[in-house]
Amino acid sequence: MVAKNPGPPTWICPHCNVAQLIADEKIDRYSKVLSITGLAEEYVSVDYHAIGCANPSCKKLTLSCYAYAVTKHFGINGPDRYSKNGPPLAGSRFLPKGSSKPQPSYVPQVLVIDYEEACAIKDLSPKASATLVRRCLQGMIRDFCGITKDTLAKEIRALREAVDGDTAPKGVASETVDAIDHVRSIGNIGAHMEKDINVIVDVDSNEAQMLIELVEMLFDEWYIARHKRNERLQAITALGSQKQEERKQLSLSSPPDVAESGFVTL
């Protein structure tokens, strides 16, 4: 049975990153309890959730599907009801794949690829996702900050010195360097084996998501902020040039003053 739902008050399309209100005709949900008997979970519900983007330049579909273990509540004077027992057994968003957000073209493509892959495997392999985040952050230090060393640890040390010496690029703060250093240590879990193989340091999908959100924050605070700042400065420069040209044209079109004409008014 199709269940209409107004959805969340606001929703951000993962295709175009535009926030919008969801109208009834733009959302569809379907939930079905499987009729298979003898399952270990006893009762399993399969749910899908579909939203159509209202942005005229996008209009793309977002589709998610999840399976839940459910408990059956027998109805006495009405139909049976089912309640979910907890988080989904499995499932993901299928359209678009992964949880990555669209990034502007001026963010280097190699960084975006690492970011998108980290998002795509976050639930399947959080440690591998953390390793990709680590590599993405190293690429950002090299590209945005212009620092290249033998290891990420040395690059972070050099970046910290640049921040302390007030020579780091705009938008690079001391707190950011601390966060990147923490990601380096977490990413090492996937990049390098522990000395003692019996010591297993795990990374779960929620922790991997926190690392991904740091990358998204730096995309915004470094690349996007720099681009917007340059656009504003270019607009001011263009405005100044335009006003100078207007003054030049006015001076050429205005009549000569008394001193230039040689005439004196009596």
Instruction: Name which of 103, 38, 29 is nearest 66 in CA terms.
Output: 29
What is residue 8's three-state secondary structure? coil
| CA separation for the pair 122, 190 (Å, rounded) | 13
| CA separation for the pair 34, 85 (Å, rounded) | 15
Q: Which tokens sit at 67?
A: 């399976």
H-type helices in the chain, by residue range?
109-120, 126-144, 152-164, 174-191, 205-218, 225-253, 258-261
Q: Is the pLDDT of residue 59 over 90?
A: yes
More confident call, 9 vs 252: 252
Mean of pLDDT values over 111-135: 91
Q: Which tokens sit at 162?
A: 């640049």
Query: What local confidence, expressed as pLDDT, does residue 25 receive?
Result: 92
Mean of pLDDT values over 89-112: 89
Q: Is the pLDDT of residue 83 over 80?
A: yes
| CA separation for the pair 205, 123 (Å, rounded) | 5
Query: Per-residue pLDDT tens for 194-237?
Result: 444 444 457 788 888 999 999 999 999 999 999 999 999 999 99
Query: What local confidence, expressed as pLDDT, does residue 62 receive?
Result: 94
Mean pLDDT estimate for the chain:
85
Q: Is the pLDDT of residue 256 over 70?
A: no
Query: What local confidence, expressed as pLDDT, does residue 76 receive?
Result: 79
More confident call, 167 vs 5: 167
More confident call, 261 vs 78: 78
Angle value at C-alpha 247, between 246 and 253, nearest 5 degrees: 90
Q: Tokens 């779960």 identify what position?
A: 204
Cβ contacts of 21-24, under 8 Å, gap ≥ 24: 21/54, 22/51, 22/54, 23/54
Q: Is the pLDDT of residue 3 over 70?
A: no
Query: Per-residue pLDDT tens for 14-32?
Result: 888 899 998 889 999 999 9
Query: What local confidence, expressed as pLDDT, does residue 265 receive?
Result: 53
More confident call, 117 vs 200: 117
Tell whether pTM > 0.85: no
> CB within 8 A of 44, min separation 6: which ones?
33, 34, 36, 67, 68, 69, 70, 89
